[in-house]
Structure 1
Amino acid sequence: MKATDQYQGKHVLVLGLAKSGYAAARLLHQLGAEVTVNDGKPLAENPAAQELIEQGLDVICGEHPLTLLDKPIDLIVKNPGIPYSNPILEEAVKRNIPIITEVELAYHISDADIVAITGSNGKTTTTTLITKMLENSGRTPLVAGNIGVVACEVAEQASDDDVIVMELSSFQLMGTDTFQPKISVLLNIFDAHLDYHGSKQHYIDAKARIQANQEESDYLVYNVDDKEVVAIAETSSATKIGFSTRVLHPEGLDIAEGHLRYKQTPIIALEDVMLPGRHNLENILAAVGASILAGSSREQIQHVLKTFGGVQHRLQFVKKHKERAFYNDSKATNILATSKALDAFQQPVILLAGGLDRGNSFDALIPSLSGVKAVVAFGETKHKIAETAQSVDVPSIQVVDVLEAAVHAAYAQSEEGDIILLSPACASWDQFRTFEERGDAFIQAVSKIIN
């Protein structure tokens, strides 16, 4: 951990616990700050708060009183999920009190270079690919941020022989000030989290924070096929490495003559890449670029791309049985994600879709249903999805109540060469607590068929 005295004696309010708040509070206390912790959960139900009290911190639980700002506060470290419409944060802005997330704190103490990844889609896949590509490179990759361990906990343990691979959301990036990764990766920008940010421009501005403090000695790996990303890149002072799946990009990463290329040098043949989907080619190109810049070898990159079948619940290859391939894309909780999953396959697809009914229609899914062989709809939205499939004459449409029945119905009508794909286009909360639980249930149902 890098020595720093910038928090010594500072009065810091940590707003919201969870993993990031707990880690930030503990670290700030260690760095000599006078820390007050505030969390909405009552103390009796809050073991993390109880532990911090035992460590000597001032903890206020059960409410968010504005009186917290009555005593001098030099800095607020907020949980990323707490919106800036929170009354304490609104008042803090009026009083010009700086507000950060623990990602900024992690940067201040990190001895290791940081590779930071953001985008509306593909962050976890790209982060995982980069991490695997950096293995055996002579530097130990440490995963942090949205996946892995809280960023400041990783930074506390990292040495200059390590490299921190950090997946970052717009919520986390919005709370950065001096954050300056050695390599930043900007994948894409779609409409997302507008309820939190208030407008698409505010969302774009938050994403742009990933490169805002970079200099020419740093690198920005960015998607030249995304106009919002390009607009951000045009303002960047970093050395820019673009990637494209659509056009030749000789100074960056592209696809030509059946190969993925870096600065016109072939890296791997497309036919040797295990991870399916055109959208994943963007993630792969971004990961290859960042990994090369961080010191990975071509041999390690090739090994990863030949063997990596996907992140769990994100177009994850599950099993092949009697020439039918099962894929778990439970993370596809919206129509855009399911459309991308369907576009990933050339083979006949039997789609399993359904879940929580949020009141929306599924008309936006229609263009991606043209090549679908069958739809098995389940959950609250089963009839809506079935009606959408009927409108484009999907050859076979079945409606069942639960996911396990959908798996059995899909397999019963499948043939050799078919893809059986769970990509729900809906949240899981009608029948499952999380999309991970739903994906696990799919895998279990597949195992019952095979065994």
Structure 2
Amino acid sequence: MDLKGKRITVAGLGRSGFAAAGFLKDMGCDVWVTDSSSGGEIDERAAALKERGVNVELGGHSKRFISSSDMLVVSPGVGDESAPIRMAKEAAIPIIGEIELGYLFCKAPIIAITGTNGKSTTTSLIGHILKEAGKNVSVSGNIGIPFTGEVASYKDDTVAVLEISSFQLEYTRSFRPKISLILNITDDHIDRHGSMEEYSDKKKKIFENQGEGDTAVLNYDDAGVRPLADECNCDVLYFSRMTKVKGAYVDGMHIYYDAGEAPEKVMHIKDIGLAGEHNTENVLAAVIAARCFGVAPDTIRKAVSGFKGLAHRCEYVDTVNGIDFVDDSKGTNVDATVRAIGSYAKPIVLIAGGRDKDSDFTAADGIVCKKVVHVVLIGEAKDRIAESISPSVKKSKADSLRGAVRMAFESAAKGDMVLLSPMCSSFDMFRDYKDRGDQFKALVKELKDGGKE
């Protein structure tokens, strides 16, 4: 596609919008950027773009920034009801997302990963395995590295590994990965999409353009994912912890890969350096992607055994007075927290709460009753979560993360674990989940330095 000389408006000046605007400017476009917010990093990005001759408006959206455009490129955080999208639809201006923009100029085969939970870990793991196999890999997308910031540097032998969120899939049109993976679909982002059905429909867009020669990888154990095979127009491989399937599965204490010829023993479960059954699922999915790109089983085993996971995902922080502290700040929905709690045998003091996404917190009640001795709640959702958890579970409320950490520490016994796994987004009290997790770690360090009073 030749966009040189075209007037393109980018809505949103977060990481993705900033990268898209720079990419379009490099392509010779007349670039306009609009964002309803201002201050901090937004102002810095705006200044950098203005120096390059990009037109930028902050603090609102004016019609003149939209109405004469040849195309609107929307950042993932820009919802369907936003003013730029509404104005573009009224003017019959084509709308695409940042992922679609990158795809239009991508010459590399794409492995695209989506799902409610496990996306970042699986994306990073696939990238790690392929790198260990000597392949030229670029990892980007929802993981924090915009696709449009990377795509221009791709070489003929590059393999693009993309983490893709439902927000990013919303405005894809022709996006067609070589391999798509749907890890799971559970309750999340209902505040944005309106219903589970709409949320699932956005996830399914990852394979809607796939065809002959492509592969969709689906979680056989997820009741909302397995039936999607009927909607795929490409080859389908499954992964399963419980059933022998065409794809990757667990049998006894080993992981096998079987694409329909003969089963290959890939690795022992103990070779996985990540805790929890959910991480076994992530490894199974990664095994399929790696084998589809010709990576030998022994190389996969060595790469997986050396992979230690990502920050803020069930990350061990420290032990203070015999109490373990674990940072799962990326646990921004109920299912993520359920999976995190299920990964540990120790009694748990859970710190949860934040900005509600219209989640069903009662879905956590069963495992909380079994494994959590005390729930310390923070943020806007603390009252709703308290009402959703059985009265038999001790609950407390704190006005700050500092107060919650101190409260959890004082109530925990030697041998217990304090787990930060909020079930909510962070935006009521923090910049993002990383900021929340980093503050948690700093508070644990303070406890370590000061001891239990």
Q: Please say whether Structure 1 and Structure 2 have the same fold, judged by a TM-score greater than 0.5.
A: yes
- 1:323-369 Cα offsets, whole Å, 9 max, x none, are 76542212223433222212222x23222223447598954332102
Q: Which residue number in structure 1 is paired with residue 61 of structure 2? A: 64
Alignment of 1:341-420 (within 5 A): 341-345=340-344, 347-356=345-354, 363-372=362-371, 374-375=373-374, 377-379=376-378, 391-392=391-392, 402-409=403-410, 413-415=413-415, 418-420=416-418
Alignment of 1:232-271 (within 5 A): 232-249=228-245, 251-263=246-258, 264-271=263-270
Q: Which residue number in structure 1 is paired with residue 25 of structure 2? A: 29
- 1:114-150 Cα offsets, whole Å, 9 max, x none, are 1111111111111111111112212122211111421
Q: Which residue number in structure 2 is paired with residue 152 of structure 1? A: 148
- Give the aligned residue type for 1:232: L
Q: Which residue number in structure 2 is paired with residue 297 of structure 1? A: 296
Q: Which residue number in structure 1 is paired with residue 181 of structure 2? A: 185
Q: Which residue number in structure 2 is paired with residue 216 of structure 1? A: 212
Call closer, same or farther: CA 1:403–1:433 in 2, change over 3 Å: farther
Asked if the contact 2:350/2:372 (under 8 Å) is kept, the reply is no
Aligned-partner SS, 2:225? helix
Deviation at 1:256, TM superposition (A): 0.5
Distance 1:265 1:142 in 2: 28
Deviation at 1:27, TM superposition (A): 1.7
Asked if the contact 2:337/2:421 (under 8 Å) is kept, the reply is yes
Q: Which residue number in structure 1 is paired with residue 48 of structure 2? A: 51
C-alpha RMSD of the superposition: 3.1
- Give the aligned residue type for 2:98: E
Asked if the contact 2:37/2:58 (under 8 Å) is kept, the reply is yes
- Give the aligned residue type for 2:406: A
1:195 matched to 2:194? no
- 1:376-426 Cα offsets, whole Å, 9 max, x none, are 5253577887787773367xx777761331453255x123xx544332334
Deviation at 1:43, TM superposition (A): 9.4
- 1:183-228 Cα offsets, whole Å, 9 max, x none, are 1111111232233223333322221121122222122111122343
Q: Which residue number in structure 1 is paired with residue 437 of structure 2? A: 439
**Aligned residues between the structures:** 439
- 1:249-300 Cα offsets, whole Å, 9 max, x none, are 1x21111121111113221112332212222222121111112223433233
Call closer, same or farther: CA 1:426–1:220 in 2, change over 3 Å: closer
Distance 2:138 2:303 in 1: 17
Asked if the contact 2:112/2:162 (under 8 Å) is kept, the reply is yes
Call closer, same or farther: CA 1:88–1:201 in 2, change over 3 Å: same
Q: Structure 1: where are the runs of 5+ without partners?
A: none
1:423 matched to 2:424? no
Q: Which residue number in structure 2 is paired with residue 116 of structure 1? A: 112
Asked if the contact 2:67/2:91 (under 8 Å) is kept, the reply is no
Asked if the contact 2:352/2:420 (under 8 Å) is kept, the reply is no
Distance 2:282 2:75 in 1: 28
What TM-score do the two structures reach when normalised by structure 1? 0.86
Distance 2:436 2:238 in 1: 36
Aligned-partner SS, 1:211? coil
Deviation at 1:41, TM superposition (A): 3.9
- Give the aligned residue type for 1:305: V
Call closer, same or farther: CA 1:199–1:387 in 2, change over 3 Å: closer
Alignment of 1:96-175 (within 5 A): 96-175=92-171
What TM-score do the two structures reach when normalised by structure 2? 0.86
Aligned-partner SS, 2:281? helix
Q: Which residue number in structure 2 is paired with residue 331 of structure 1? A: 330
Asked if the contact 1:355/1:429 (under 8 Å) is kept, the reply is no
Call closer, same or farther: CA 1:303–1:321 in 2, change over 3 Å: farther
Which piece of structure 1 moves more, 288-297 or 163-172? 288-297
Call closer, same or farther: CA 1:21–1:361 in 2, change over 3 Å: closer
Call closer, same or farther: CA 1:449–1:106 in 2, change over 3 Å: same
Asked if the contact 2:4/2:27 (under 8 Å) is kept, the reply is yes
Distance 1:353 1:404 in 2: 8
Distance 2:207 2:360 in 1: 37
Call closer, same or farther: CA 1:361–1:117 in 2, change over 3 Å: closer
Call closer, same or farther: CA 1:233–1:50 in 2, change over 3 Å: same
Distance 2:288 2:75 in 1: 31
Distance 1:385 1:89 in 2: 34
Distance 2:6 2:372 in 1: 62
Aligned-partner SS, 2:250? strand
Which piece of structure 1 moves more, 228-237 or 258-267? 228-237
Distance 2:266 2:179 in 1: 20
Asked if the contact 1:410/1:420 (under 8 Å) is kept, the reply is no
- Give the aligned residue type for 2:255: L
Distance 1:22 1:218 in 2: 31
- Give the aligned residue type for 1:259: H
Distance 1:323 1:272 in 2: 27
Deviation at 1:321, TM superposition (A): 7.4
- Give the aligned residue type for 2:285: A
Call closer, same or farther: CA 1:237–1:338 in 2, change over 3 Å: same
Asked if the contact 2:322/2:414 (under 8 Å) is kept, the reply is no
- Give the aligned residue type for 2:171: G
Asked if the contact 1:140/1:162 (under 8 Å) is kept, the reply is yes
Asked if the contact 2:188/2:333 (under 8 Å) is kept, the reply is no
Call closer, same or farther: CA 1:90–1:393 in 2, change over 3 Å: closer
Distance 1:390 1:207 in 2: 32
Aligned-partner SS, 1:353? strand
